[in-house]
Amino acid sequence: MILADKIIELRKQAGMSQEELAEKMNVSRQSVSKWEGAQSVPDLNRILQLSEIFGVSTDTLLKDELALTTAISDVPDTTEPPLRAVSMEEANAFLHANTKAAFLISLGIACCIASIAPGSILERIERFGDALATIIMFLMIAGGVALLIIGSSFLKAYDYLNHEGIDTAYGVSGMVREKQSARRVQHLAELITGIALCILSFLPAMFTSEVFGDDSFPTAVCGTVMFVLIACGAFLIVRTSIINGGYEKLLEEGGYTRREKEAQNSVAHTIITVYWLVIVAGYLAYSLLTNDWGRSWIVFPVAGILCGALCAILKRSGK
């Protein structure tokens, strides 16, 4: 048995995750992952640390011909609840489902945002314009919500990745990191493009408003284009973020570290859910009563900023 396999076996016997072992040794989780993937070898000082942590001799660790015969009895299992094992097949299945969900969820959000776009032009039709714009808006929102529900259903079986500590099988971390690295340039390109589309979407409407006036047809067309560009930008940002988040879930990095999972609870989740329900209900009520769809959308970016502040407060208070 080689050193990489011995570290994996001893760590599992001790009931530790890669992150917990890394903390005990004051190294990064990536270092432990590389040791277990036989991509690098710990130096002599690290070998001595491993020997002390696992209660085995250095010869047992370093000599391939020596099997692991020492039972781990002096290292308590401090993981509550027990780590969830994730096989290579399960990891690949999750990444495949996550890619599908990313497309459907981002498309659903884009549909909800773009639902406002037809109103800029249709409201110019005197008799049925407002009614037609409202009908199209609710149809697009209904379709967007349906896509969100369908997309989320793909990830329902893997919800434990959001809340439980995991212990990935041999080779999983290396496979995930390789996929993440291969997509890093595309991720950044989609993220930057999405942000740019959202920021630049206002320029055509501002230009036509100055040249032709607020009530002109070109301004109405550019108002429609603005929401379409924002929807496209949101699609790119959400899609690439969900895909990259899938890699972080399996690697337990970013917002999915063990500590982040332990900090989560139903109280904070409930508060955030109620918060967004109130925001959406207020937006629809105000827009329907005033018919001011062209400006009422601003509630969502403002609500997003306030949601970030609310999350920070909840996290700090331990809720």
Burial profile 251-271: b = 16 or more Cβ within 10 angstroms, e = fewer: bbbeebbbeebeeeeeebeee
The set of residues, in sequence order, having a beta carbon less than 8 Å from that of 3 and lying 6+ positions away, is 35, 38, 41, 42, 61, 62, 64
- Amino acid (1-letter code) at residue 31: S
CA nearest to 216, candidates 117, 120, 118: 120
CA nearest to 37, candidates 169, 141, 165, 140: 169
CA nearest to 38, candidates 177, 179, 172, 171: 171
- Quick one: pLDDT at residue 65? 65
pTM summary value: 0.65
First-to-last CA distance in the chain?
46
Calculate the alpha carbon distances from 194 to 124, 241, 250, 261, 309 in Å: 30, 11, 25, 29, 23
Rounded CA gap, 194 and 240, in Å?
A: 10
- Quick one: pLDDT at residue 66? 63
Rounded CA gap, 19 and 167, in Å?
A: 10
Calculate the alpha carbon distances from 154 to 234, 237, 295 in Å: 21, 20, 35
- Quick one: pLDDT at residue 312? 65
- Quick one: pLDDT at residue 70? 46
CA 274 from centre of chain: 20
- Quick one: pLDDT at residue 4? 83
CA 170 from centre of chain: 24
Q: What is the 3-state secondary structure (H, E, C) of the chain?
A: CCHHHHHHHHHHHCCCCHHHHHHHHCCCHHHHHHHHCCCCCCCHHHHHHHHHHHCCCHHHHHCCCCCCCCCCCCCCCCCCCCCEEECHHHHHHHHHHHHHHHHHHHHHHHHHHHCCCCHHHHCCCCCCHHHHHHHHHHHHHHHHHHHHHHHHHHHHHHCHHHHCCEEECCCHHHHHHHHHHHCHHHHHHHHHHHHHHHHHCHHHHHHHHHHHCCCCHHHHHHHHHHHHHHHHHHHHHHHHHHHHHHHHHHHCCHHHCHHHHHHCCHHHHHHHHHHHHHHHHHHHHHHHHHCCHHHHCCHHHHHHHHHHHHHHHHHHHCC
pLDDT tens string, the chain, 319 residues long: the values are: 688 888 888 888 888 888 888 888 888 888 888 888 888 888 888 888 888 888 888 888 887 666 665 444 444 444 445 678 889 999 999 999 999 999 999 999 999 888 877 777 776 666 776 778 788 888 998 999 999 999 999 999 998 888 888 888 878 888 999 999 999 999 999 999 999 998 888 888 788 877 877 677 777 788 788 888 988 999 999 999 999 999 999 988 877 776 766 655 445 666 777 777 788 778 777 776 776 665 676 776 677 667 767 766 766 655 5
